[in-house]
Amino acid sequence: MDDRQRLKHILLEKSYRQGTFTLTSGKTSDFYIDGKQTTLSAEGAYLCGKLLFELLQKSPAAIGAVGGMTLGADPLVTAVSIASHLAGAPIPAFIVRKEAKGHGTGNYIEGLKNMAPGITVGLVEDVVTTGGTLLKVIERVQDAGFKVGLVVTVVDRQEGGAEALAAAGYPLQALFTRAQLLS
């Protein structure tokens, strides 16, 4: 079993659930993918980090840091950063806050000391439905003076997120679409 097939197995075992669920977008769904159950497991984090790092390496633009919105992206950006270090091509991680820090610097972005001004970044998310979270991250990253070179996710639910991101000029790459995960 290769890394991709092993990750698919872990996602189905730990993260995929059937039932009635309300998603972050407010939509109701008959299935839920709780990505954190996979990304917070040792093997799941390792495989996500390795496979997402491989996608980032294929970016036409050199990726100088990897980040995403807290909380879903937190274990992913750490895993990708560690995988990049192990591969001899270290990429620092950063985290985008949902609200600006209420004290100290007041920043939306944590990890700025590890990022050169104006670099191109890769953005990651565990599960994409409408793309709204990533669009907010893109806005905050650009407001901080960075360029977005690549947007990747572990699972694309195929519910409009890829289309919304593409319409904004940011094609989404996924390790798995819903169809691929459930096939």
For every one of its 183 residues, what pLDDT tens digit does the chain have, with 9 covering 90 and above? Answer: 899 999 999 999 999 999 999 987 788 999 999 999 999 999 999 999 999 999 999 999 999 999 999 999 999 999 999 999 999 999 999 999 998 766 666 789 999 999 999 999 999 999 999 999 999 999 999 999 999 999 999 999 999 999 999 999 999 999 999 999 999
Count the Cβ atoms, other than its own, within 10 Å of residue 97.
Answer: 14
Q: Which CATH class is domain 49-175?
A: alpha beta
The identity of residue 11, as a single letter, is L
Q: Which residues make Cβ contacts (< 8 Å) with residue 15, sequence separation at least 6?
A: 33, 34, 35, 36, 37, 38
**Tokens 């109701």 label which residue?**
28
Residue 102 near residue 113 (C-beta atoms within 8 A): no
> pLDDT at position 171, please?
95
Question: Burial, 92: exposed, middle or buried (Cβ in 10 Å; 0-12, 13-18, 19+)?
Answer: buried
Query: What angle, 0 to 180 degrees and rounded to 10, lies between the N-to-C axes of helices 42-57 and 3-10?
Result: 130
> pLDDT at position 2, please?
97
174 beta partners: 153
Please state, in angstroms and rounded to a whole number, the distance separating the CA atoms of residues 68 and 76. Answer: 8
And the tokens for 56?
A: 């980032």
What DSSP element (H or E) covers 37? helix 35-39
**Tokens 């059937």 label which residue?**
18
In the chain, where are the structural domains located?
A: 49-175
Specify the 3-state DSSP secondary structure of 137.
helix
> pLDDT at position 65, please?
98
Please state, in angstroms and rounded to a whole number, the distance separating the CA atoms of residues 35 and 79. Answer: 14
